[in-house]
Amino acid sequence: MDKLVIEGGKSLRGEVTVSGAKNAVLPILAATLLTEEPCVIKGVPNLRDTNTMLKILRSLGKNAEFDKGTVRVTQAKETNFVADYKLVSTMRASFCVLGPLLGKLKKAKVSLPGGCVIGVRPVDLHLKGFKALGTEITIEGGYVNAVAKNLKGNRMYLGGAYGSSVLATDNVMMAAVLAKGKTIIESAACEPEVVDLAEFLIKMGAKIKGYGTPIIEIEGVKYLHGAEHRIIPDRIEAGTFIIAALITRGDITIKNVMFQHLGALIDKLEEAGAHISRTDGSMRVRSRKRLTPINITTLPYPGFPTDIQAQIMSLMTVTPGISVITEKIYPDRFMHVAELNRMGAHIQREGPHAIVEGIKHLSGAPVMASDLRASAGLVLAGLAAKGLTSVSRIYHLERGYENMEMKLQALGAKIWREKE
């Protein structure tokens, strides 16, 4: 395995271009299972997770060619309804093949998912939605077996203990587009990635209204055809580079960004004193002075994203004063706290809250990534620290960030890869 080594203390300057959104491309690739006609997806990031999804599509009967950011999906053979444990267990988002398989074939056998260790993330909302459409569900041998004589539209409520679920909304929506009659999803996720999937499905011939709101209406159609689509920019990657500019006291122009997807983050950073100017499709982020502490609570979109929580915590460790970060989506998503404290941070966790006492600077240290976003937070901390920081288990980072070390090098960071 590789690790990243970072010599901190360098102000980042220059331009960086954001890649396509990981959390949009995975369900959109899964949605190609709904048709036997060719689909072309552009702006696809070259990630571990992307390549895992392509392997799953191939195992299910598709040809999936990936070249220079474009994926072309065609039918190779009869669609297989079984998604194997060896692939699905490595990536939670791969569970979203269940919806399109069920919609197209009226049956599916999909392994229960794996993914990051950030706390329990059950699939009960997915199964609740499928049952509402008339599906019989059994779980045996680590697989979800779903069978439906006919999918029938229905009204359902998909709110969970911590709010709406993006993946459950995606999954049920993909099954419902080929169901008979109208489906209404209440407490649907409103994230931009759900909107991107809905717009792709509409290009394929689906009839969907209300996407981007808590109530989505779907009128089932008999079949879907092929389509071409471009993935939206990754708002989490954009947010990570915004914080990279601030934590290094730098000056970065970020291209291919939709700042309307980053409202909660931008609002909080401007409250802290960040200088963020916006133009069409790009933004410039500068840090003229030390920021002031802020309090953050993660919430479903359009609230503050849980996927930026680790990165903002790294920034607050070097922001004088007391900041309080409350995690309401995944209350156990604090694996990075101990690693940041190894770098000299003063963070105390109390239940779903992390109390951060800002200090002048962090000190480089060997740290270990526990999940995708924690790894990004540790890289940011390393950029700001004095001395050398080594981040182990960077395969987590490669799941969601395309060429991150090269993008940071181009901005002036001293960061390189070494064997463990």
Helix H or strand E encompassing 385: none
Please say if 116 is a catalytic residue. Answer: yes
Question: Are 244 and 383 in contact, with CB atoms under 8 Å apart?
Answer: yes
Taking alpha carbons only, the member of 146, 240, 231 closest to residue 197 is 231
Structure tokens at 71: 């994926």
Apex CA 345: angle with CA 294 and CA 367, to 5°?
A: 120
Cα–Cα distance between 378 and 371 in angstroms, integer?
11
Place of tokens 């909080």: 268
Question: Are 220 and 289 in contact, with CB atoms under 8 Å apart?
Answer: no
Question: Are 237 and 23 in contact, with CB atoms under 8 Å apart?
Answer: no
Q: Report the Cα–Cα distance between both ends of the chain, in Å, rounded.
A: 6
Residue 208 bridge partners (DSSP): 218
Taking alpha carbons only, the member of 268, 403, 228 closest to residue 276 is 268
Cα–Cα distance between 310 and 375 in angstroms, integer?
8
What distances in angstroms separate CA 310 from CA 141, 220, 316, 361, one per listed residue?
A: 35, 40, 10, 17
Taking alpha carbons only, the member of 155, 136, 163, 146 closest to residue 104 is 146
Helix 166-176 with 124-132: angle, nearest 10 deg: 20
Cα–Cα distance between 418 and 420 in angstroms, integer?
6
Sheet-wide strand order for 207-209:
155-157, 182-186, 215-219, 207-209
DSSP states of 146-213: EE-SS-B--EEE--BTTB--HHHHHHHHHHHTTSBSEEEEET----HHHHHHHHHHHHTT-EEE-TTS
Cα–Cα distance between 30 and 58 in angstroms, integer?
11
- Could you list the active site residues? 116
